[in-house]
A and B are shown apart, each in its own frame.
Chain A
Amino acid sequence: MQSMHLQGIDYAILIAYFVFVLGIGFVLRKFVKTGNDFFLSGRSIPAWITGLAFISANLGAQEVIGMGASGAKYGIMTSHFYWVGAIPAMVFVGLFMMPFYYGSKARSVPEYLKLRFDEKTRGLNAISFTVMTVFSSGISMFALAKLFGILLGWNFNFSICVSAAIVLIYIFMGGLTSAIYNEVLQFFLIVLGFLPLVFLGLHDAGGWSGLTAKLAVVATKNGFAAGAWNNSWQFMGNAKENPMGVGWFGMVAGLGFVLSFGYWCTDFLVVQRAMAANSMSAARRTPLIGAIPKMFIPALVILPGMIAIALTATSGPGGFSLPTKAGGVLDYDMAIPMMLAHYLPSGLLGLGLTALMASFMSGMAGNVTAFNTVLTYDIYQGYLNKDKSDQHYLWMGRFATVFGILLSIGAAYLADQFNNIMDMIQLVFAFVNAPLFATFLLGMFWKRSTGHGAFFGLLSGTIAASIHHGFTVPVGALSLIKGGWTGHIIHTYPSEMAQNFWTAIFAWTTCFVATIVISKLTRRNKSDAELRGLVYSLTPRIKEEGIPWYQQPWVLGVIVLAAAVVLNIIFW
C-alpha cells in the first residue's frame, strides 16, 4: 500500500489549521454567558452560516470515506443518497417542519416530542439519541486514528488524543457557536482540499469521456451492462441489473423517503444548526441554503471513488490502483486516501490531509454538541435536577462536553477491540431511527395523534425492523449481524443495501399504522391550545415580510428541487 511521507510544509498546514480552530474557540468564549449561548448560540447566527454548518456537520468520516467507497463500489448510483435522498428531505424540513421546531422554542428535538406528545416519548428519543451520538463520535475518532495510522504511521493513541483534545477545547470554550463557525471553516477546507484531487484524477482518467469508457470496462467485468457505473436511473428497473442491487421502489421509498427524511428531518445533530439561526426565516432557509452546495458534494466524494475503480481496472503498472484486503477483495474505503497519496505532492498533500482531518473533526464536534444539549436539557434537567439556575446548566453543559468526549474515546477503543460490536450497535440504531419520521410526520400534521400512540408506535416500528431483519438476508451473508438471526429465512435480497432499505420501509409503515390505530384508541393528552405552534392545522401560516423574493423559502425550495431534478436527468 502506498504510504505518505510528509514534509515540513505539510505539517505546517496541519498545525496552522489546529491553531485557527482553537483560536476561533478562544475568541468566541467571551460571547458564552448563558446556557442559551452555549447550547443554541443565543439563536443569533445568520442563515448562510447555519446553512453551511447544516451540511458540514454531516460531512464527517462516513460521508467522505464512505461515499468515496460507495462511488467505487456502485458508481454514480451513489448520488441517489443526495439527489433523491438528502435534497428533497432538506427542502421538506425547511419549508414544513422548521416552523414547529423553531417556533415552539424547543431547545432540542426530544424537547419538541415532550411538548407535542409526552414525557415518555421524549425520554425514549433522548436516551437513544445520546447513546447513538457517543458511538457515532467514537466511530469517527476510531476511523481517523486507523486511517492516519495506515497512511502516516501515526500512533493510534496519539491520533485519538490529538483529535479529542482539539474538539474538546473549542467546544468547551465556545459551545455550539464555536462548533458552527468551525464547521463553516471546515466546509471550505474540505472543498478546497479535495478539489485538486478531482481535477488530477479526471485528468488521469482522460476526462469525463475517458472515465465513462473505463467505467464500461468495470461494469462488464462485473457482469453488468456497460453503463451501469455511470447511469443513475437507467438500470433501476430490475434490482439484478445494477451494482447496488436495489430496484426503483426500494430506492425511492426506502432511501428517498424513510431513511433520508428520517435523518434530515428528525436528527438533532443537523436540526440544532437551524435552531441556532437568528430568525424564523433564517431557520427555514438554513437547510435550503445548505442544499445548494450539498447537491455538488458528489463531485467531491463520489467522483474520486468512481475514478479510483476505473483506473484500478484499466491502469497498467505504475498507474493508480486500489489496495486489496485479506482475501484479495478491493479495499474501497481507501479510495480517497490512496488518491491523495498517489496524486498530491508535498504541500497540497498537507492541505488534502488537513481537509480529511477537518471532515473527521466536524463530524465529531457535531455529535458532541448535540450530545451535550440533549444530556443537559432532556436528561439532566428533565429527570435529575429540574429547578437549577441557568448558570448551573451552563456548567453542566461544559461537564457534558468533557463527559461526551471521554465516552467517545471509550467507544473508539471499543471499536478497535470489537469491530463486530460496533456493527451490531449501528444495526440496533438503524432499527430505532427508521420509524422516527412517521412519529414526527403524524405529530406535526395530525392533531389527533396521542402520546401513547407515538410511544408505542415507535416501539412497534423498531420491533418490526428487527423482525424483518431476522427473517431476511442479503446474498452472501456470512454472519447473523447481516440478518436471518431467527434461523428461518423467508426472503433473500440481492444486496445488503436492498435489505436495509426494505427494513426501513417495514419499520416506518408499522410505526405509521400503529401510531394511528393506538391514537384512535386512546384519549388526546393535549388540547388544541397546547398544540398551537406544534401542529400544522393549529398554527397560523408564516408571512415572510421584508425579505427579497429570491430569499423567500418557497422560492429557494423550488429552485433547489428543480436543480436536483436536472441533475437526475443529466446522469439518468
Chain B
Amino acid sequence: MSFDIRYPIGLMFALFGAMLVVFGLVSDPAIYQRSFGINVNLWWGIVIFIFGAVMLGLAWTA
C-alpha cells in the first residue's frame, strides 16, 4: 500500500497555519486582550504553517 499520511497532515496544518496568519493580520487587535495582547493567531499560525511545510517536505523527499 502506498499512502503517505504526511501529505494530508502537512496540507492540513499548512492550510490552518495560513488561515490563522491571515486572520491574525486582519483581525481587530482588541480580540487579543484575553491572550495578554499577544497576537497568538499570527505567531501560532506561523508555527503550525512551518510544521505543515516540514511534514510536506518529509513526504515529498521520502
| A interface with B by C-beta (< 8 Å) | 9, 12-13, 16-17, 20, 23-24, 27-28, 31, 42, 44, 49, 177, 181, 184-185, 188-189, 192, 196, 200, 203-204, 342-348, 351
Q: Assess whether A196 is in contact with B13, with CB atoms less than 8 Å apart.
A: no
Contacts of B24 in A (CB 8 A): 347
Closest beta carbon of chain A to B38's beta carbon, Å: 8
A sample of 9 cross-chain residue pairs with beta-carbon separation below 8 angstroms, ordered by A number, consists of: A9-B23, A184-B5, A200-B40, A345-B32, A345-B35, A347-B41, A348-B35, A348-B41, A351-B44
Q: Assess whether B34 is in contact with A188, with CB atoms less than 8 Å apart.
A: no
Bound together, the chains give a CA A344 to CA B39 distance in angstroms of: 10
Q: Assess whether B44 is in contact with A16, with CB atoms less than 8 Å apart.
A: no
Q: Assess whether A185 is in contact with B34, with CB atoms less than 8 Å apart.
A: no
| B interface with A by C-beta (< 8 Å) | 1, 3, 5, 8-9, 11-13, 15-16, 19-20, 23-24, 27, 31-32, 34-36, 40-41, 44-45, 47-48, 51
Chain B's closest residue to A177 (CB) is: B1
Q: Assess whether A351 is in contact with B16, with CB atoms less than 8 Å apart.
A: yes
Contacts of B12 in A (CB 8 A): 16-17, 20, 185, 189
Bound together, the chains give a CA A252 to CA B57 distance in angstroms of: 44
Q: Assess whether B16 is in contact with A13, with CB atoms less than 8 Å apart.
A: yes
Since A16-B15, A344-B34, A345-B35 are in contact, a sample of 7 more A-B pairs with Cβ atoms closer than 8 Å, ordered by chain A residue number, is: A184-B5, A185-B9, A192-B51, A347-B19, A347-B45, A348-B41, A351-B48
Bound together, the chains give a CA A185 to CA B13 distance in angstroms of: 10
Q: Assess whether A348 is in contact with B15, with CB atoms less than 8 Å apart.
A: no
Bound together, the chains give a CA A31 to CA B5 distance in angstroms of: 14
Bound together, the chains give a CA A153 to CA B19 distance in angstroms of: 25
Q: Assess whether A42 is in contact with B1, with CB atoms less than 8 Å apart.
A: yes
Bound together, the chains give a CA A177 to CA B12 distance in angstroms of: 19
Bound together, the chains give a CA A200 to CA B5 distance in angstroms of: 31
Closest beta carbon of chain B to A180's beta carbon, Å: 9
Bound together, the chains give a CA A358 to CA B6 distance in angstroms of: 17
Contacts of A44 in B (CB 8 A): 1
Q: Assess whether A347 is in contact with B36, with CB atoms less than 8 Å apart.
A: no
Bound together, the chains give a CA A537 to CA B38 distance in angstroms of: 61
Contacts of A184 in B (CB 8 A): 5, 9
Closest beta carbon of chain B to A355's beta carbon, Å: 11
Taking A44-B1, A344-B35 as contacts, is the C-beta distance between A196 and B9 under 8 angstroms?
Answer: no
Chain A's closest residue to B15 (CB) is: A16
Chain B's closest residue to A13 (CB) is: B16
Closest beta carbon of chain B to A44's beta carbon, Å: 5
Q: Assess whether A20 is in contact with B3, with CB atoms less than 8 Å apart.
A: no
Closest beta carbon of chain A to B20's beta carbon, Å: 5
Q: Assess whether B5 is in contact with A181, with CB atoms less than 8 Å apart.
A: yes
Closest beta carbon of chain B to A52's beta carbon, Å: 9
Closest beta carbon of chain B to A45's beta carbon, Å: 9
Q: Which of A177, A346, A351 has a CB less than 8 Å from the CB of B27?
A: A346
Q: Which of A17, A23, A196 has a CB less than 8 Å from the CB of B40?
A: A196
Counting from the closest, the 3 A-B pairs by CB-CB distance are A347-B41, A345-B31, A347-B23
Q: Assess whether B1 is in contact with A204, with CB atoms less than 8 Å apart.
A: no
Contacts of A24 in B (CB 8 A): 5, 8
Q: Assess whether B13 is in contact with A192, with CB atoms less than 8 Å apart.
A: yes
Q: Assess whether A346 is in contact with B19, with CB atoms less than 8 Å apart.
A: no
Closest beta carbon of chain B to A183's beta carbon, Å: 10
